[in-house]
Structure 1
Amino acid sequence: MAIVNGGTRTVSANLNMGGEKPKVVVIMGPTGSGKSRLAIDLASYFPVEIINADSMQVYRGLDVLTNKVPPEDQNGVPHHLLGTVSPDVEFTAKDFRNSAVHVIDGIISRGCLPMIVGGTNYYIQALVSPFLLDDSAENVGGGCSIYPGDEGLGVDLDECRDGLKYDHNHLKEIDPVSANRIHPNNHRKINQYLSLYYRTGVLPSTLFQGKAAENWGQADSFKYDCCLICVDASVPQLDEHVDSRVDIMMAAGLLDEVYDIYNPNANYTRGLCQAIGVREFEEFFRCYIPEGGCKKESAGLSPKNLMECNEILKENMRSILTSPCDGQPSLLLKEAVDNVKLNTRRLVRRQRRQLKRLETLFGWKIHYVDSTEYITCKVEDSWTAHVVEPAVQIIRSFLTDGSATETMKPHSSELIKKDLWTQYICQACGNKVLRGAHEWEQHNQGRTHRKRMYRLRKKCEGLSLLHQKLPPQE
């Protein structure tokens, strides 16, 4: 493999010789931190090809909303799994793993460096982890199925929904242990577990306990030698940045994109409709689009008139967006935009928690570069000094003398003994349900919980003093 270094190419040291694992770089981090830009900038130093690991960017469509890097900004760097999947299908972590492995093999055969880039941590974990539900189910259950004739096909939940109940209560009847682990509104995971059970006859909870769970998520069993780099920034700066980015997206045509795919009967748990910024506009569209709308040929309009009708509606939407009027459509639209920002900020926190969990619970060693200063001041020298140059040094060190054992933290008994199934309930926080000792510990350390406990203690102390001062009753 050749490495670009100061405009010249030199041969790297023993990247895939003597039976060593091929080397792969993974760029992780919360949304808005600068992962895609860093990956493209690194192509000036290394002969990289980028594999997208964003669960919404894999789909075709909604390029503005999902913040895909446009071709003119890719600087000629090959991008894979970017806008290649039909927006109506469910592209699972296993689908990503299978597709990415094939792409990585092709990149390595061309003498280039595979670079996985994205914020969907469960995609990356599926690629890194030696354990996936379906793989272990085949080992535990022998690939058997309680439905004859569906071997290897899986269960299509939408087709079977009339005959079977795919909900949390049904999972609780079949496997109460795994149902306890899943939030009742986590339809994706509920569907996955029930599909697994009906296809293999194996209870999902059995796969996460005993021997099967010991290697789950452990990065040092990966078939590649991985260098994990996280582009991170302080949360307040990320909050401001993602809010500003949503405004930029709105100006770039986000609303038109969502209008084009709007369906009042959409399934928001499947495909591209899961993206933040789709469901949030549902109430606005229900109010704004006239009954029947201009969405289908059934509206009785010719294709030309249908197109003109849609353009008029879009133009009116844009005028609502910039209008100072406080009518119902304007209020609903403003609320939708605010919800997109709110849910994006929540995603930032969720992604950062997941990264910390990969470190503390699964032993991943992640190298961090900080984009806070650049996000705050937008000075190019800051981006180069604090993000690009440190990442280049990390990768150079990894390519020349790094190895899988040096990149990953060693296992310990504490890492292997994961309590993922115990359910905890915090009464102080409104009977909030926490699943697993790690979640419980993180919750207890959280600022919100500590504030609630402080107020409760003060309240109890006040009641105790009041009781002491009350005269005794006769």
Structure 2
Amino acid sequence: MSMFSCSQIQPMVQVPKIGLHGQVLEKTLKEKAVIVLGATGTGKTKLSIDLAKKFCGEIINSDKIQIHEGLDIVTNKVTKEESCGIPHHLLSVIEPNVDFNVTDFCTLATLSMQSITENEKVPIIVGGSNSFIEALVDYHENMSQPRYEFCCLWVDVAIPILNSTLSDRVDQMLGKGLVDEVRALFDPNVDYSKGVYRSIGVPELDQYFRVEKLLDDQSRVKILEEAVNEIKFNTHKLAIRQKEKIQQFKDVKKWKIHELDATEAHQGKGKEAIDAWQKLVMDPSLKIVDDFLNNNVDT
């Protein structure tokens, strides 16, 4: 494998513009971007950062909740340490109570892509909001002269195994201070259909915050357990919807998507999990993206 590196980066390829009679009129630049798809908790963020380190990439967040400021624990935003110095765009850039729609995303994501490619870096778009990704791809594909071509990777995990991962992640969030983080933002008159307040983990705690000071310890614990179980249930439902949407991209929209089964990596522990991730997700992804950027295959 040739393995594309930062020093070799050439993100733009020449694409001829053809006239009515088949003559080449001019050459235009078509640039490349990578999209990392997957349900919540599958490892999209980890893969995107590893790819960015290898291929001189910068990451564009496409999670509609993480775009908003605040609730870093609840929304599971990448930490400074986890980001490994890789620039992240569209992360915590919108005020918590401000609505942000697909049109807004397409505009800002396109500007970010242009900025990244102008600096001869590779845009890597990652996040769980598939409606945003779909709109962005459609927007560029419907241009008379599309500027970008996309390579789509799908980190997939079998639902029963993923459910276990997600339940564990909610418990970890609780240990990091999820309840206190949401309590600090709690407003009894807030609209849970807007901004960051739509995030799973916020409306589920509403009842608990309203009554916690009125209850004894035992009752308070019970109400909180019910809220946590609802958070886990709604997270599981979200993962199923996300997986179904990506499958539609393949089956209905006929996107070419490279599926990477990370189930074994999620089942394993310690070195076993690390080795499975490297073999089943990381190594194939490196080869796919390397071929894409080097025009070795029709990716």
Instruction: Specify if TM > 0.5.
Output: yes
1:74 to 47, 58, 83: 83
Question: What amino acid is the match of 2:31?
Answer: P
| Offset at residue 44 of structure 1 (A) | 3.0
| Offset at residue 218 of structure 1 (A) | 7.6
Give the match for residue 19 of structure 2.
none
| Offset at residue 9 of structure 1 (A) | 2.5
- The reply on whether 1:377 has 2:265 as its aligned counterpart is no
The superposition leaves residues 331-370 of structure 1 with CA deviations (integer Å, 9 ceiling, x where unpaired) of 1100000000000000000001111112222121111112
- Give yes or no for contact 1:233–1:372 (8 Å, CA) kept in 2: yes
User: Within 1, Cα distance between the matches of 2:33 and 2:9?
Assistant: 16
- The reply on whether 1:57 has 2:66 as its aligned counterpart is yes
Secondary structure, in 3 states, of the residue corresponding to 2:201? Answer: coil
Give the match for residue 275 of structure 1.
199
Report 1:310-459 matches (<5 A): 327-378=218-269, 379-401=273-295, 406-407=298-299
- Higher relative CO (Cα under 8 Å, sequence separation at least 6) belongs to 2
Report 1:92-111 matches (<5 A): 92-111=101-120
Relative to 1, partners in 2 of residues 1:289 and 1:55: Cα closer, same or farther, differing over 3 Å? Answer: farther
- Give yes or no for contact 2:9–2:56 (8 Å, CA) kept in 1: no
Task: Give unpaired runs (5+ residues) of structure 1.
Answer: 132-216, 291-316, 408-474
Question: What amino acid is the match of 2:181?
Answer: E
User: Within 2, Cα distance between the matches of 1:392 and 1:362?
Assistant: 25
Question: What amino acid is the match of 1:284?
Answer: Y
Secondary structure, in 3 states, of the residue corresponding to 2:98? Answer: coil
| Offset at residue 43 of structure 1 (A) | 2.5
- Give yes or no for contact 1:218–1:362 (8 Å, CA) kept in 2: no
User: Within 2, Cα distance between the matches of 1:268 and 1:79?
Assistant: 27
Give the match for residue 163 of structure 2.
239
- Give yes or no for contact 2:11–2:117 (8 Å, CA) kept in 1: no
Q: CA RMSD in A?
A: 2.4
Question: What amino acid is the match of 2:136?
Answer: L
- Give yes or no for contact 1:16–1:23 (8 Å, CA) kept in 2: no
1:33 to 39, 42, 66: 42
Question: What amino acid is the match of 2:281?
Answer: V
Secondary structure, in 3 states, of the residue corresponding to 1:64? Answer: coil
Relative to 1, partners in 2 of residues 1:11 and 1:287: Cα closer, same or farther, differing over 3 Å? Answer: closer
User: Within 2, Cα distance between the matches of 1:112 and 1:103?
Assistant: 11
Secondary structure, in 3 states, of the residue corresponding to 2:63? Answer: coil
- The reply on whether 1:15 has 2:13 as its aligned counterpart is yes
User: Within 1, Cα distance between the matches of 2:84 and 2:166?
Assistant: 24
User: Within 1, Cα distance between the matches of 2:63 and 2:207?
Assistant: 27
Give the match for residue 440 of structure 1.
none
- Give yes or no for contact 1:218–1:363 (8 Å, CA) kept in 2: no
Secondary structure, in 3 states, of the residue corresponding to 1:229? Answer: strand
| Offset at residue 126 of structure 1 (A) | 1.2
Task: From the CA coordinates, give the structure whose radius of gyration is larger.
Answer: 1
Secondary structure, in 3 states, of the residue corresponding to 1:24? Answer: strand
Question: What amino acid is the match of 1:39?
Answer: S
The superposition leaves residues 250-299 of structure 1 with CA deviations (integer Å, 9 ceiling, x where unpaired) of 00010011000111111011000000000001111111146xxxxxxxxx
Relative to 1, partners in 2 of residues 1:13 and 1:274: Cα closer, same or farther, differing over 3 Å? Answer: closer
User: Within 1, Cα distance between the matches of 2:61 and 2:134?
Assistant: 14
Q: Which has the higher strand share?
A: 2
- Total equivalences in the alignment: 283
Relative to 1, partners in 2 of residues 1:261 and 1:76: Cα closer, same or farther, differing over 3 Å? Answer: same
2:208 to 273, 279, 284: 284
Give the match for residue 33 of structure 2.
24
User: Within 1, Cα distance between the matches of 2:142 and 2:164?
Assistant: 34
User: Within 1, Cα distance between the matches of 2:29 and 2:53?
Assistant: 26
User: Within 1, Cα distance between the matches of 2:143 and 2:156?
Assistant: 20
Relative to 1, partners in 2 of residues 1:235 and 1:276: Cα closer, same or farther, differing over 3 Å? Answer: same
User: Within 2, Cα distance between the matches of 1:16 and 1:109?
Assistant: 15
- The reply on whether 1:123 has 2:132 as its aligned counterpart is yes
Q: Percent identity among equivalent residues? A: 36
